[in-house]
Each structure stands twice: as structure tokens, then as C-alpha cells.
Amino acid sequence: MNLLDGKVAVVTGAGRGLGRAHALALAAEGASVLVNDVDGPSAGAVAKEIEGAGGAAVANGTDLATMAGARSVVEAAVAAFGTVDVLVNNAGVSVRQPLDQLDEATLDLHLAVHLKATVATTQVAFPAMAAGGGGRIVNTVSGAGLRAEHAGTTAYACAKAAVYAATLVAAAEGKPHGIRVNAVSPLAITPMSAAFFGDTTLEQRDALAPERASDVVVFLASDLAGDLTGRILRIEGGHLSEAGMAWSGGATADRWTPDVLAARIDEVLLP
């Protein structure tokens, strides 16, 4: 079953890891794929792999750290294939720095590659998708942004949390135009995440293989997802859930003076 016959997909950060798996999976379902990665040779290798399997692909080595660069990636897909139907924002960086050592360049890099690139590619994809009657956008968030509790990840967690918000806003703006915007939060062992996992067994590597996340990306990119939009799907091996930022049930008072709050704080907080 070729779920994406005749569709054009853009995958950023597709030279290795999750992005490579996404590009190959989309191509296997019939999509023509623009394979973007700042490591141009890696992007070229993935494009050749797709072509070798009988698919259509072009490689793109543009750096997404500027909005102009990110926009040009979608424009390149339109120039090569005539339109864009699917956009997978996967490109990312991860540099650990304790908060007291975090420098501006590192913070800017994370915000640029994760947030600015996602916003800029979406900006360009929207009119092309709307003109074609709709489209599918799949962004990439992280448990590190939704449950920001790992030391040394301020830049990464903040950037990923921002992509979460950008996904929900884009879903609201895209809905009238038939554009569905969702995100995945994949727990996977990749070249970028390998250090986080440390030593792993063959069984663990299989359970957290990037291809498992790509199955979900293909679903969200296809008509099987229907009108699903504004959703964040957390993928942890064989376990799939919807993720979000929770609010407690809360409580009501005439006025939350410090003494009232001190007496009733447990009613306000999440369990």
C-alpha cells in the first residue's frame, strides 16, 4: 500500500538518524523526497539510497540556522517537484551546558535550528499546501522539553518547548486551509542521542530504533490521519501516547492571599 503516491515531502536533518529513517519511510510509501541536511554528503547518500530503491529524491545541504536558509529548503522542493505536500521538521542540535555556563551562542544555535527553522519552513509551506488543497506538517519535540528535568539541557529543552507551542499555533492557523500540523516526541537511539543512553543491548536498540518513530510520521503524513491536528504523539518503542503540558484541576478562593495559598497550596498543584 503506497500511502503517499504522488506526494512531495521535505525532511530536514535527514542525513542520518531519525531524519534518514523518515525520508526512507516516506519514499517507500511513494513520496518524492527532498532530503535536507547541513552535512551535504550525508543528504546525498540518503537521496541516492532512495533513488536506488526506485524512488525520487533530491539532496539539499542548506544550513537551517537562518530563517532565509530554512525557507529556501521548501522553495527548493517546489522548484524540483512542483509543490510540497508533506513537511517533516526533524533537524536538531543538542549541546549540554550547565545553566551557569550556558553561553549566548549555544542558546542562539538551539533556538535557530529547532524553532526558527520550524517556523520558517512552515511559513513557506503554508501557501504551497493551501494552493494544493491542504497538506501535512510533522514537527519534532522532545520529552526534554515537555518534562524539562535533565541537568545541562536548558538550551535544548527551551527550544523544543517552543516547537511544541509553534505546532499548536500552526495547527490552529492551518486548519481552515486543510493543513494538519502535528508533532512527534520520539525516544530513539540515534547518533545524536547515543551518549544519553550510554551502553545499550541489541534488544534495546531494536526497541528504540528510529524506524519505529518513522511509522508514526508516515501515518501523520498520510490521509489515514484524517483531520488529526494539533496533537503531540510520544513514541517510546512499542508504547505510544499523547503528550502535552498539563494543568491541574485547581481550586477557587475569594482571593489568593499568601496565608490562604499557604494553607491550600496542595489543592492547586498537580499530583
Q: What is the per-residue burial (b if ≥16 Cβ within 10 Å, else e) of 208-235?
A: bebebbbebbbbbbbeebeeebbbbbbb
Residues 45, 50, 56, 60: what is their CA dihedral angle, to the nearest 10 degrees? -30
Q: How far from chain centre, in Å, is Cα 51?
A: 25
156 carries an active-site annotation: yes
How far is 151 from 148, CA to CA, in rounded Å? Answer: 9
DSSP letter for 208, please: T
CB-CB contact of 186 with 235 (8 Å): yes
**Which member of 81, 126, 156, 164 is catalytic?**
156
100-104 contacts at long range (C-beta below 8 A, 24 or more positions apart): 102/154, 102/155
Residues 29, 32, 36, 39: what is their CA dihedral angle, to the nearest 10 degrees? 80
- Residues with catalytic function: 156
